[in-house]
Amino acid sequence: MSFIETPGGVSLHYQEQGSGRPLVFVHGWAMSARVWRFQQPLGDDSRLVFLDQRGHGQSSPAKGYAVQDFAADLTAFCEQMSLDGAVLICWSMGVQVALQAFSSLRSRLAGLVLVGGTPRFTAADDYPHGKPPVEVKGLEVRLRRDYQKTMGEFFKGMFAEGEMDAAQYQRIVHEIVMGGRSPDPDAARQSLQILSAADLREQLTSIDRPVLLIHGDLDTICPAAASVYMAKRLPMATLALMEGCGHAPFMTRPQQFNELVLSFLAGL
């Protein structure tokens, strides 16, 4: 197992394979780097780097779980690993982390792939593409009452009805959930503040790198309208909606997802 320690004293776990352009994978809330198990074929021509964020997977817990804390970790990680010409491949909450970290990582980045993301998770008067704030508060209450049950329900909720058969679902559970490690409960609860408070909309126009937005059109956790919103404001964006997919199209349609990423990489 490989670890680096950030200047803030956080031990970050990562795995890597392959050689070539670095592709840095950043997972979402309450998940780990194991979510990218089906993206390993991308390592035929690239250096894949799978990062566990603080308090998730095998990385250590920490004192802070604001979006700025996660972004500082990502910046320190890329600097210590000397990752230049890199592409960030980020999912869900990881999208917000990448948007926050972009200004400090700009010189190291060739592009970004933002999957199932949103610049703001909760809805507002001028942003209807999010969840009602009360839903985040309800999730926190359920986590306190029954952590394991709530995490299981959240995982199942990532997939759209009819998106896959029972055999494929069992494969996903076996490859990604089983053998993994649940996030630190405090990390899961405290990082909900990103979902309830972070607003990265102002950063969008400053992302002067090619961006591929991938979103399942049936996503009920982060509506696809959020990626449509970002595509209109990012200077160099391409939007790909994956039909019949929910919040994790890279799990349920890995071949299609990987082909989209490879096509994007070829154009950089």
Helix (H, G, I), strand (E, B) or coil at 51: strand
Helix or strand holding residue 46 (H, E): strand 46-51
| pLDDT (tens place) for every residue of the chain, 268 residues total | 799 999 999 999 999 999 999 999 999 999 999 999 999 999 999 999 999 999 999 999 999 999 999 999 999 999 999 999 999 999 999 999 999 999 999 999 999 999 999 999 999 999 999 999 999 999 999 999 999 999 999 999 999 999 999 999 999 999 998 877 788 889 999 998 888 889 999 999 999 999 999 999 999 999 999 999 999 999 999 999 999 999 999 999 999 999 999 999 999 9
Domain ranges, residue 33: 2-266
The residues assigned a catalytic role are 92, 219, 247
Residue in the structure block whose two tokens are 């949103």: 118
3-state SS assignment for residue 171: helix
Predicted confidence at residue 182, as pLDDT, reads 81
Cross-strand partners of 15: 50
What pLDDT, on the 0 to 100 scale, is given for residue 183?
87
Run of H or E residues at 22:
strand 21-26
Q: Within 10 Å of residue 90's Cβ, how many Cβ atoms?
A: 25
d(CA 163, CA 67): 31
CATH value at residue 221: 3.40.50.1820
Contact (Cβ atoms closer than 8 angstroms) between residue 13 and residue 2: yes
Instruction: Look at the block and give the residue holding tokens 């308090």.
Output: 55
| pLDDT at residue 138 in the model | 93
Characterize the bridge pairing of strands 109-115 and 21-26.
unpaired
What does the pLDDT read at residue 208? 98
In 116-242 the beta strands, taken as DSSP E runs, fall at 211-216, 237-242
In the chain, the number of structural domains is 1
Task: Tell me which amino acid residue 164 is.
Answer: M
Q: Which amino acid appears at position 18 of this protein?
A: G
Structure tokens at 170: 């069992």
